[in-house]
Chains A and B, each alone.
Chain A
């Protein structure tokens, strides 16, 4: 009995740190997608503690949100465009109160009012970026890599990295065949699947936690990589280059959404406002290499960052680029089936 009492006192002491802080923000985000400094400054300025957990794919995020639907676990999540519309259509999101956030008018109008969420009732853009080819220039020989098709080259057998992302991998497969990356045609998707199976022996890693790692670790020489990852990777490895493929780079947008049962939507709104501040938005873009949608922030960027083609591509880079669009649930199912087949066929 005495031991239990002692344990009880110990418990109070141990959990004491968190119990007297009433304001908590549960932020669910992609890994390597938010500088620690931003979280720290937010905590200091508002006194709200941020509980930060990460995911490596939209599917994982969506599944977890659905799993914890009733228990109201998360206050903010950061899905890609097509998941914003999916979640919106399924009634999983809380409308965002525009009056509670500041800085919305600073956003690039090309990235607001999109079909996925007209009027941005449920989402606020966070970062946009591209998925292109990462090349370890020091370790490859022969012709330079300029197109997705090059990844199928025999010289790269066992040295290719792919992002662990269903839509992106198939997007690449479809583009190589000349189809749209947003295709909903089952025939085309199947052809892409066949093409991708040919690539499988070359694939060393599937990595969406931090796609720059296989390159930095010297395990992969070419492959798919997100532009921000390439920028961050270049800091540690000079030879890491970001190439815009000839067939067209994949472009995407990630936005903040508030799950319907969020416990602390107030804090969520505050966080969005905080991140939309030009100073903070610039900090984020500089730190993790992705492009900020906040126009006034772009003026604050240092020359090196603003001129980095990986983060801020020129119109030439984007000539064949294709933005990830919503393709509907039915098409997603088709993709999912072939993706499972692809991943299982080892």
Chain B
């Protein structure tokens, strides 16, 4: 029985990794037409870096993801703290709204925000993208932080309060360090979600701020561009590094 379940696991993992391996292998394929092997070559990586528009889109995406993750972590953490610590009216409604964002199909989120931005006459570009990305990252940060807060000793903030600390000070010196791992996890999740987003970005982006997923989308739609393999491989390596860094940080912080 054990053998069966182990081999089943192995099989599924194999299937999951075949497409990615294909991508990596073919990124070094010298042949122009994707399907035949033409020898090892780095030409697609070269062509990628010579493509100014692509490089610009990469930087734009990175910056967007960085800022979106940071802002959403900030607001998300405060939201989680508020939900956990404060008593106020409409808590259920707040929870409800977060839930709606998380569970809504991305496309519904996308059109609702597009409608809002148009109504406000907001130019579609970096700002619209940032607002949209922070919004869909928010619930994930909140959940991550709340999970951390749930298993946390309430006596510490109590003690701080008894010692006369203000709310702000107490939050800063006691709570923040406690939820720090959750903050980092939330930040990383937000960063990934932002870098990967296609659906929402299709609706709320403008040509003044080109982002990577949309570039990739038009490349992939035309099809058979070996540069996509190289790009995919780079993104994979990048994600791997990010994941490993996050694991390392989390394991360090547990000490």
Q: Which residues of A contact B (CB under 8 A)?
A: 4, 7, 10-11, 14-15, 17-18, 26, 28, 31-32, 51-54, 56, 67-68, 70-71, 73-74, 209-210, 213, 216-217, 236
Indicate which residue in B118, B206, B207, B221 contacts A56 across the interface (CB closer than 8 Å).
Answer: B221
* A-B CB contact pairs (8 Å), 13 listed: A11-B66, A14-B59, A14-B62, A15-B59, A17-B56, A28-B207, A32-B222, A51-B210, A53-B207, A67-B124, A68-B124, A74-B207, A213-B222
**Shortest CB–CB separation between residue B4 and chain A, in angstroms?**
38
Tell me if A213 and B123 are in contact (CB < 8 A): no
Residues of B within 8 A of A10 (CB): 66
Nearest residue (CB) in A for B128 is: A71
**Among candidates B33, B63, B70, B222, residue contacting A236 with C-beta atoms closer than 8 Å:** B33
Chain B residues, CB < 8 A from A74:
207
Partner of A71, one of B53, B59, B206: B206
CB–CB B224/A71 < 8 A: no
Which A residues touch B255, using CB under 8 A?
none
How far, in Å, is B222 (CB) from chain A's closest CB?
Answer: 5
Pair B224/A217 contact, Cβ less than 8 Å: yes
> Do A209 and B221 have beta carbons less than 8 Å apart?
yes
Can you list the 10 inter-chain pairs with the closest CB atoms, starting with the nearest?
A71-B123, A209-B221, A210-B222, A213-B223, A73-B207, A209-B222, A14-B63, A53-B207, A26-B207, A14-B59
13 new A-B contacts, CB < 8 A, other than A68-B124, A73-B208, are A11-B67, A15-B63, A17-B59, A51-B208, A51-B210, A53-B218, A71-B123, A71-B125, A209-B221, A209-B222, A213-B222, A216-B33, A217-B224
Complex CA–CA separation, A14 to B123 (angstroms): 22
B39 in contact (CB, < 8 A): no
Chain B contact patch, size range: 20 to 34
**Closest CB-CB distance, A129 to chain B, in whole Å?**
18
A213 CA / B70 CA spacing, docked (Å):
41
Closest-CB distance, A63 to chain B (whole angstroms): 12
Chain B proximity of A176: nearest CB distance (Å): 29
| CA gap between A70 and B117 in the complex, in Å | 12
B207 touches A31 (CB 8 A): no
In this complex, what residue of B is CB-closest to A50? B53
Q: A11-B63, A18-B56 are in contact. Are A73 and B221 (CB under 8 A)?
A: no
CB distance from B154 to the nearest CB of A (A): 28
B121 at the interface (CB under 8 A from A): yes
Please report the C-alpha to C-alpha distance between residue A216 and residue B63 in the assembled complex, in whole angstroms: 37
Beyond A26-B207, A51-B53, A209-B223, whether A71 also contacts B124 by CB under 8 A is yes
B206 near A73: Cβ-Cβ < 8 Å: yes
Please give the residue numbers on chain B whose beta carbons come within 8 Å of chain A beta carbons, in ascending order: 32-33, 53, 56, 59, 62-63, 66-67, 70, 118, 121, 123-125, 206-208, 210, 218, 221-224
What distance in Å separates the Cβ of A49 from its nearest Cβ neighbour in chain B? 8
Smallest CB separation, B206 vs chain A (Å): 5
- In the complex, which residue of chain B has the Cβ closest to the Cβ of A213? B223
Distance to closest chain B CB from A247 (angstroms): 29
A288 CB, nearest partner CB in chain B, Å: 13
Point out the residues of chain A lying under 8 angstroms from B67, CB to CB: 7, 11
Partner of B207, one of A51, A210, A213, A236: A51
Nearest chain B residue, comparing its CB with the CB of A216 = B224
Nearest Cβ distance between residue B146 and chain A, in whole angstroms? 23
Residues of B with C-beta under 8 A to A71? 123-125, 206
Q: Please give the distance in Å from A286's CB to the nearest CB on chain B.
A: 19
Give min CB distance, B225 to chain A, whole Å: 10
A207 nearest CB across to chain B (Å): 9
Q: Are A7 and B66 in contact (CB under 8 A)?
A: yes
Chain A hits for B224, CB < 8 A: 213, 216-217
Q: Which of B53, B70, B222 contacts A52 (CB 8 A)?
A: B53
* Cross-interface CB contact of A31 among B70, B125, B210, B222, cutoff 8 Å: B222
User: Using Cβ atoms and an 8 Å threshold, which residues of chain A touch B63?
Assistant: 11, 14-15
For A31, list chain B residues within 8 Å (CB). 218, 221-222
B66, B70, B206, B207 pick with most chain A CB within 10 angstroms: B207
- Residues from chain B with a CB closer than 8 A to the CB of A26 are 207-208
Closest B-chain residue to A40, C-beta based?
B52
Closest chain B CB from A70 CB (angstroms):
6
